[in-house]
Amino acid sequence: TGHAGDLTDEERSMLAGEIPTVTAGLRVIEALVTAGVAKSNGEARRLILSGAISINGRKLSEDENLEAHSLLKKGKNTFLLVV
């Protein structure tokens, strides 16, 4: 539980209206900068290395490709939906 992939299409659509979305296939660093969560690639990289970024509840230690129906989280209150 807790994965965006567990949601129905309708629930995902509702969530997409509430939080920023990014396209699957991007790297995490690209997604963070594109969505405005990080101001630069360097800042995004530092966030990952400091353990501030997680995907579906799993902390990241390096940049990776984003898969569809994932929930990217920065800190406690910032979310991105990967569609």
Q: What is the CA radius of gyration of the chain?
A: 12
Average pLDDT in the 46-64 region?
96
Average pLDDT in the 21-31 region?
95
Q: Rounded mean pLDDT of the chain? A: 91
pLDDT at res. 1? 43
pLDDT at res. 3? 67
At 32-46, the pLDDT tens digits run: 999 999 999 999 999
Those residues whose C-beta lies under 8 Å from the C-beta of residue 37, and which sit 6 or more positions away, are: 20, 31, 44, 74, 78, 80
At 3-17, the pLDDT tens digits run: 676 778 888 888 888
Q: Where are the beta strands (DSSP E) in 1-83?
A: 21-22, 53-55, 58-59, 70-74, 78-82
Q: Judging by DSSP bridges, how do beta strands 21-22 and 78-82 pair with one another?
A: parallel
- 72 three-class SS: strand
